[in-house]
C-alpha cells in the first residue's frame, strides 16, 4: 500500500516538473533596447511614432524630431538661420503619404521632409506681408477618398469645425450619413456626440443642397473623391433601422458588418444583427 502511494506521488511530481520545464522552454525572453537623450533621442517626452515604408522609425517629441534606423539616431531641430530646417520643434503629427513622402505637423505649420540634404519644405498660413503665420497644425488622414471629400463638405457647414466633422465621420459610415441627410433623420444625427437638434437640422439643410448635385451620378467632390447618392443599400438601411431602435451608430455598424456577408435583404440583415447583439 505504501509502495503504491509512493509510486503515484512520484508520477505526479514528474508530471508537474515536466510541465514547468516545458513552460520555461517556451518563454519568449523579450529584450528591450532603451532610447533616450543620452543615446540619441531628441527629447525624452515622445508623442508620435511612425515606421515608414523604408523601415525608419520617426519619433516626434516635445522638442525635436528623431529618425532612427535601429542603430543610429538623427535629430532634426529648428534653426532660425537655416530656412530649410524644420519649422517647429513641438511635433504634433507624423504621416507618410501614398508617394512615400514624410509630412511633419508642428506648432509652426506643416513640413515636408526632403531626403536630399535632410531638409524640409515648409507650408504655413501666409500673412499679407508675405511671411508665414505661426499656426499649430495637425495632419489628418482618411481611409478612403469618400471620407476625405465628405470631411471637406462638412467643414463648409456653418458651425462645423474639424473636430466635429471628424466626430461625425467616426460615428457613422458614409452611406449612413448620406441616407440620414436624404431622409431628414434628425434623431439619428443627434445621436452623434456633439450634434444637437439645431446642428442636425443645419446639417440636413446645408448638406442636402451641397450633395444634391451628385445624385444619380459619380462626380468629383473637391476634385478628389467620388460619391454616388442613389437608393440606400440594404446595409445602410439596416444600420439606420437599428439606430432608430435606440442603438448607437457604431454599435449598429459593427452588428451589421458582422453578418452582412451572410444576407442581402434588409429585413434579414436587421434580424441577424439583432440576434447577434442579443447574444453578446
**Of 133, 155, 178, at which residue does a domain stop?**
133
User: In which order are the strands placed within the sheet that holds 91-96?
Assistant: 91-96, 102-106, 109-114, 119-123
Please tell me the predicted confidence (pLDDT) of residue 10. 42
Please tell me the predicted confidence (pLDDT) of residue 232. 53
Please tell me the predicted confidence (pLDDT) of residue 138. 64
The answer to whether residue 225 sits within a structural domain is yes
CA distances to 85, 141, 262 from 93, rounded to whole Å, are: 17, 11, 40
**Same domain, yes or no, for 178 and 59?**
no
**Same domain, yes or no, for 261 and 155?**
yes
In a structure prediction context, what are the per-residue pLDDT tens digits for the chain, which is 280 residues long? 444 444 443 444 344 444 444 444 555 677 788 888 988 899 898 989 999 999 999 999 989 999 999 899 999 999 999 989 998 999 988 998 878 899 998 888 889 999 988 999 988 766 677 666 656 566 676 767 777 778 888 888 888 888 888 888 878 877 788 888 888 888 889 888 888 888 888 898 888 777 654 444 343 333 333 444 344 567 877 777 777 666 777 778 888 888 888 888 887 888 888 888 776 6
Structurally, the chain folds into a number of domains equal to 2
Q: What is the DSSP string of 113-163?
A: EETTTTEEEEE-EEPTTSPEE---------SSHHHHHHHHHHHTSTT--HH
**Same domain, yes or no, for 74 and 108?**
yes
Q: Which domain holds residue 169?
A: 145-279
The answer to whether residue 12 sits within a structural domain is no
**Of 103, 133, 163, at which residue does a domain stop?**
133
**Same domain, yes or no, for 266 and 162?**
yes
The answer to whether residue 3 sits within a structural domain is no
Q: pTM, whole model, 2 decimals?
A: 0.47
Through-space distance between the first and last CA atoms of the chain, rounded to whole angstroms: 53
Please tell me the predicted confidence (pLDDT) of residue 66. 96
Q: Residue 100 maps to which CATH number?
A: 2.40.10.500
Amino acid at each position: 500500500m505504501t509502495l503504491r502511494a509512493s509510486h503515484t506521488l512520484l508520477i505526479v511530481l514528474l508530471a508537474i516538473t515536466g510541465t514547468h520545464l516545458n513552460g520555461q522552454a517556451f518563454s519568449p525572453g523579450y529584450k528591450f533596447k532603451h532610447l533616450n537623450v543620452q543615446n540619441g533621442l531628441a527629447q525624452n517626452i515622445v508623442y508620435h511614432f511612425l515606421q515608414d515604408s523604408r523601415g525608419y522609425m520617426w519619433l516626434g517629441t516635445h522638442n525635436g524630431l528623431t529618425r532612427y534606423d535601429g542603430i543610429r539616431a538623427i535629430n532634426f531641430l529648428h534653426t532660425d538661420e537655416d530656412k530649410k530646417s524644420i519649422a517647429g520643434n513641438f511635433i504634433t503629427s507624423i504621416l507618410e503619404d501614398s508617394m512615400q513622402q514624410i509630412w511633419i505637423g508642428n506648432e509652426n505649420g506643416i513640413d515636408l521632409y526632403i531626403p536630399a540634404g535632410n531638409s524640409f519644405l515648409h507650408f504655413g498660413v501666409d500673412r499679407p506681408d508675405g511671411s508665414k503665420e505661426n499656426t499649430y497644425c495637425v495632419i489628418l488622414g482618411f481611409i478612403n477618398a469618400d471620407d476625405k471629400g465628405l470631411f471637406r463638405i462638412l467643414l463648409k457647414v456653418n458651425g462645423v469645425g474639424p473636430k466635429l466633422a471628424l466626430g461625425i465621420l467616426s460615428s457613422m459610415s458614409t452611406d449612413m450619413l448620406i441616407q440620414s441627410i436624404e431622409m431628414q433623420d434628425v434623431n439619428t444625427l443627434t445621436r452623434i456626440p456633439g450634434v444637437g437638434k439645431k446642428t442636425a437640422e443645419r446639417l440636413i439643410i446645408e448638406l442636402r443642397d451641397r450633395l444634391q448635385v451628385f445624385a444619380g451620378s459619380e462626380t468629383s467632390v473637391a476634385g478628389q473623391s467620388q460619391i454616388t447618392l442613389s437608393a440606400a443599400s440594404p446595409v445602410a438601411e439596416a444600420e439606420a433601422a437599428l439606430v432608430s431602435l435606440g442603438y448607437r451608430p457604431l454599435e449598429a455598424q459593427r452588428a451589421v458588418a458582422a453578418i452582412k456577408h451572410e444576407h442581402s435583404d434588409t429585413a434579414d440583415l436587421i434580424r441577424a444583427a439583432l440576434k447577434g447583439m442579443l447574444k453578446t
